[in-house]
């Protein structure tokens, strides 16, 4: 599974990945829960679309995928993102939380 090394994280790719509402919801879920299954409850998109969202997050360097048998669990690469782009993830998650509360 392709994911960039810490030093190769690209701000444009990270921002693009975080710019989609479904992917942002997945990132918010991982920030709250630690890990997420590849088909989490409450995400109402086709499985193929969800798979594409996970791929974009992984290739941007936002997530790490761990296999347990046939299952895949995704987690944020929070430490790497914070080291490369200090405060970015916290700011995005805070703003996403504000938008969610204002609806």
Q: What is the pLDDT of residue 6?
A: 76
Successive 10-residue mean pLDDT values, the chain, 103 residues = 78 94 93 87 86 94 92 93 94 74 55
Closest by alpha carbon to 78, among 86, 66, 70?
Answer: 86
Integer Cα distance of 75 and 100 in angstroms: 22
Is the domain spanning 6-96 CATH 3.40.50.1110? The answer is: no
Q: What is the pLDDT of residue 15?
A: 95
Q: What is the pTM of this model?
A: 0.86
Integer Cα distance of 12 and 34 in angstroms: 25
Q: What is the pLDDT of residue 55?
A: 94
């Amino acid at each position: 599974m392709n994911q960039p090394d810490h030093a190769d994280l690209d701000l444009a790719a990270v921002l693009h990945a975080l710019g989609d509402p479904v992917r942002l919801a997945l990132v918010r879920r991982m920030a709250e829960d630690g890990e997420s299954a590849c088909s989490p409850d409450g995400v109402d998109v086709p499985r193929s679309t969800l798979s594409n969202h996970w791929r974009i997050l992984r290739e941007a360097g936002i997530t790490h995928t761990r296999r347990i048998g046939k299952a895949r669990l995704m987690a944020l690469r929070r430490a790497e993102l914070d080291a490369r782009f200090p405060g970015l993830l916290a700011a995005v998650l805070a703003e996403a939380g504000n938008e969610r509360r204002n609806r």
